[in-house]
Amino acid sequence: MAEQARILFHLDMNSFFASVEQAYDPTLKGKPVAVAGNPKERKGIIITCSYEARAYGIYTTMPVWEAKRKCPSLLFVTPTFERYRIASQAMFAILRDYTSLVEPVSIDEGYVDVTDIVEGAQAIKLAHTIQDRIKRELDLPCSIGIAPNKFLAKMASGMKKPMGITILRKRDVPQVLWPLAVGEMHGVGDKTEKKLNDKGIQTIGDLARLSEKQVQEMLGQHGEKLWRRAHGIDRRLVDPDSVYERKSVGNSKTLSIDETSKLALFAHIDQLSTKVADRLKEKGYVGYVVNVQVRYHDWQNKSKSRTFRESIYKKADIARISKQLFTELWNEEPVRLVGVTVQDLKEPGEITEQLTFESYEQIAKEEPVRNLIEDLQKKYGKTSIQKGIKLKKNTGSTSSFSKDFLNDHRRKKDD
């Protein structure tokens, strides 16, 4: 029996932070507004800005002084992160009124699987209903992409902003996506774009016309995924539980005897590394931290980690690093359990696709690292990092917005 075609939405809030501030203070509506960490300092940068400000050529990471020069009437607002958290929570609550198959991706975007609640053209009507409701109840604009899979839905949502609704079918890929620059493809970061450009691959179509093997030879595991997506193929399901998963993949093994042979322990590490590498490939992630855990015969637990600048995902690399860490950690006492974990997971080819609340706070509070932030946000700027909405009373303090974001969804699930 043929697999049922899915109908997925990717909902992306438009200029989120700035839109939230305009919703909170209606006097800002229709005016060029910029959210900036410290607008009084000339070295401050723009965290996000309204569409009215963008019309003047202002963009995320632009220095405050330059933005002010481009638009003397630009209104600056300092970020109020609790408002953004509340707005995000309210937006996802609206989505869950229609289906439980909602997968938050970041504070301001998520996937929704509406396959079981609409058919055909009804999907467009539902998208308009959701979009209108978010605008009416939260006073926030959003764009929605409608497609049979996550990749196409994500690409579609970025095609019309603000307040756009775009349908992207698999059969539309050659006409709609292939003419686009390869750097506009979701999943292609600056490094990958340069590598492809250096090989003469300028458009998504150029990438699609290569063989899968050719792309794999150029980019490894990430190349396989990009080649499939260039053909509109993406089999990932909408997973409401993914937001609760820790950003790590690991395996551990309780040994049948308290082991003292280094050779035997290395063999176990090889097995665990293979399992971790297979799971990383299945999930489509790479990691930047390797952790090894040891439990001794007396139940004492020890662990050791190492962070890398380059991505880790191959079995051989995981095993090699894990053995080094184990050797540094092991006190030659009998071992009862050994574990291998790869942490700090990201999709390959992207340093970061969505910045966390903590990242926004860093931008606002730590101006000395502005150059580093600018480099990161140049990659991120292609998909834009902002969004907004309606408020209620502050119900408590927040030490970590990303933690609060996850906790909001956990509490909702447990209710």
Does residue 411 belong to any structural domain of this protein? yes
Percent of the chain with pLDDT over 90: 61
Q: Among residues 343, 363, 381, which one ends one of the domains? A: 343
Identify any residues that bridge with 113 across adjacent strands, giving them in sequence order. Answer: 8
pLDDT of residue 191: 84
Does residue 74 contact residue 56 with C-beta atoms inside 8 Å?
yes
Local structure of 222: helix, strand or coil:
helix
Look up 109 and say whether it is catalytic.
Answer: yes
CA dihedral 230, 235, 238, 241 (to 10 degrees): -120
Q: Which of 8, 9, 24, 10 is nearest to 140 (CA)?
A: 24
Does residue 235 belong to any structural domain of this protein? no
Q: Which domain CATH number covers 224?
A: 1.10.150.20
Structural domain boundaries, residue 253 = 248-343
CA dihedral 360, 362, 368, 374 (to 10 degrees): -30
Local structure of 259: helix, strand or coil:
strand
Residues 4 and 113 placed together within one structural domain of the fold:
yes
**Both tokens of residue 159?**
């095609």
Average pLDDT over residues 85-94: 95
**Which uninterrupted H or E stretch holds 268?**
helix 262-283
Does residue 236 belong to any structural domain of this protein? no
Does residue 240 belong to any structural domain of this protein? no
Residues 164 and 203 placed together within one structural domain of the fold:
no
**Which uninterrupted H or E stretch holds 113?**
strand 109-113
Amino acid symbol at 144: I
Residues 224 and 262 placed together within one structural domain of the fold:
no
- Cα(58)–Cα(176) distance, integer angstroms: 28
Does residue 46 contact residue 59 with C-beta atoms inside 8 Å?
yes
pLDDT of residue 61: 84
pLDDT of residue 389: 36
Average pLDDT over residues 63-74: 93
Residues 188 and 325 placed together within one structural domain of the fold:
no
Beta strands in 23-84 (DSSP E): 33-36, 46-49, 75-77
Does residue 82 belong to any structural domain of this protein? yes
Residues in the chain: 415
Residues 311 and 411 placed together within one structural domain of the fold:
no
Residues 321 and 353 placed together within one structural domain of the fold:
no
Does residue 237 belong to any structural domain of this protein? no
Q: Which of 242, 307, 19, 240 is nearest to 143 (CA)?
A: 19
pLDDT of residue 246: 54
Determine how many CB atoms are found less than 10 A away from the CB of residue 388.
30
- Cα(177)–Cα(151) distance, integer angstroms: 11
Does residue 386 contact residue 48 with C-beta atoms inside 8 Å?
yes
pLDDT of residue 299: 82
Q: Among residues 320, 343, 366, which one ends one of the domains? A: 343
Average pLDDT over residues 45-63: 92
Task: Compute the mean pLDDT over every residue in the chain, rounded to the nearest whole number.
Answer: 84
- Tell me which of 21, 82, 103, 109 is the catalytic residue: 109
Residues 5 and 70 placed together within one structural domain of the fold:
yes
pTM of model > 0.75:
no
The structural domain count of the chain equals 3
- Cα(238)–Cα(266) distance, integer angstroms: 37
Residues 265 and 289 placed together within one structural domain of the fold:
yes
Taking only the tens place, the pLDDT of each residue in 345-354 is 887 654 444 4
Residues 38 and 77 placed together within one structural domain of the fold:
yes
Does residue 268 belong to any structural domain of this protein? yes
C-alpha separations of 4 from 32, 149, 160 in Å? 46, 12, 28
Does residue 111 belong to any structural domain of this protein? yes
Residues 164 and 136 placed together within one structural domain of the fold:
yes
Residue 217 has phi, psi (to 5 degrees) of -65, -30
Amino acid symbol at 400: S
Residues 157 and 257 placed together within one structural domain of the fold:
no
Does residue 169 contact residue 145 with C-beta atoms inside 8 Å?
no
Local structure of 364: helix, strand or coil:
helix
How does DSSP assign 279-327, residue by residue?
A: HHHHHT-BEEEEEEEEEETT--EEEEEEEEEEEE--HHHHHHHHHHHHH
Q: Which domain CATH number covers 269?
A: 3.30.1490.100
Q: Residues 6 or more apart from 66 whose CB is under 8 A from it? A: none
**Both tokens of residue 369?**
């690292």
Residues 28 and 160 placed together within one structural domain of the fold:
yes
Checking if the pLDDT of 122 tops 60, the result is: yes
pLDDT of residue 363: 42
Taking only the tens place, the pLDDT of each residue in 280-336 is 888 778 899 999 999 998 888 889 999 998 889 999 999 999 999 999 999 999 999
